Amino acid sequence: MEIKLGPAGTGGDSLKGIQQVHDLGLDSLEIEFTYGVRMSNELAKKCGEIAKRLKMHLSVHAPYYVNLASMEKKKIEASKKRILESCERGHWLGAKYIIFHPGFYGKYSKEECFQLVKKAILEMQNVIKEKEWNVVLAPETTGKPSAFGDLDELLRMRKETHCHLCIDFAHMLARTGKRDYNEIFRKLKENKIEHIQAHFSGIEYTAKGERRHVFTPEKDIKELLEWIKKSHIDSTIINESPDPLGDALKSEKILKSL
């Protein structure tokens, strides 16, 4: 069993960032396209070559402006376009998982929303296959009850579309006000999850869910790492706190002490 740790984002220059994260002793990094896909294929190739040489595990976060269950078809098409642009860059980066927030229930029932998101994922998978991009879609567990993407929905989506999922443990706490690791890991085992792609940080939340990510308490890092070690599931944990690199390094230190 292997646990990989890294930050969300490079802090600016992607080429230098990949090298810096590696030099600090971490082996994973998420490339953030959260405010738009602003990396050329040429730069993605260069970053991918460096990451491959350094044996860095890359993932990609697609733009935030995504709603695959919008009532407006134009918005669904624009959302798919943003995710597919992330997939193209991800392919050249050598990043396996393309992570995205799927959308919102809005006026739809949970089942109607599920079917809309499923349809969009299947359509995007057809494009990925046609283009021969070596990436896997990974919708993320979301931090608000108004957003599609609790753990059960995404495990069902994985079963029906063969996508993967990104488990944001902070979002899971914010969504319901509790985080039952015993139940979470039981469901992952039941669904034969062989690799956990995860986000983690501290989080502030209200009854409406996630407010903002905050620094990651050491006790929370230790608790999650202990559960992962106990589960024997290969895992990649990307830190999304206001200091993702610092908190990823803190996580690495705690992991070594366990």
The pLDDT of residue 119 is 98
Please report where in the chains the tokens 């002490």 appear, as a residue: 257
Between CA 144 and CA 104 the distance in angstroms is: 9
Token pair of 55 as six digits: 């044996």
Closest listed residue to residue 90, CA positions, set 68, 66, 63, 67: 63
- Return the number of other C-beta atoms located less than 10 Å from residue 74's C-beta: 8
The model's pTM: 0.96
Does residue 106 sit in helix, strand or coil? Answer: coil
- Beta-strand pair 202-206/209-214: antiparallel
Token pair of 109 as six digits: 């029932």
- Cβ atoms of 177 and 205 within 8 Å: the answer is yes
Between CA 201 and CA 183 the distance in angstroms is: 20
The pLDDT of residue 130 is 98
Token pair of 141 as six digits: 């567990």
The pLDDT of residue 10 is 83
Interacting residues of 234 by C-beta distance below 8 A, sequence separation 6+? 1, 2, 3, 194, 195, 196
- Cβ atoms of 40 and 48 within 8 Å: the answer is no
Domain architecture of the chain: domains with CATH: 3-257 (3.20.20.150)
Q: 3-state SS of 17-64? A: HHHHHHHCCCCEEEEECCCCCCCCHHHHHHHHHHHHHHCCEEEEECCC
List, run by run, the mean pLDDT of 10-residue segments along the chain (258 residues).
Answer: 95 91 97 95 97 97 97 98 98 98 98 98 98 98 97 98 98 96 98 98 96 97 98 97 97 97
pLDDT tens digits, one per residue of 81-116: 999 999 999 999 999 999 999 999 999 999 999 999
The pLDDT of residue 12 is 80
- E strands, the chain, are 3-7, 28-32, 57-61, 97-100, 103-104, 136-139, 147-148, 166-168, 195-200, 202-206, 209-214, 234-239
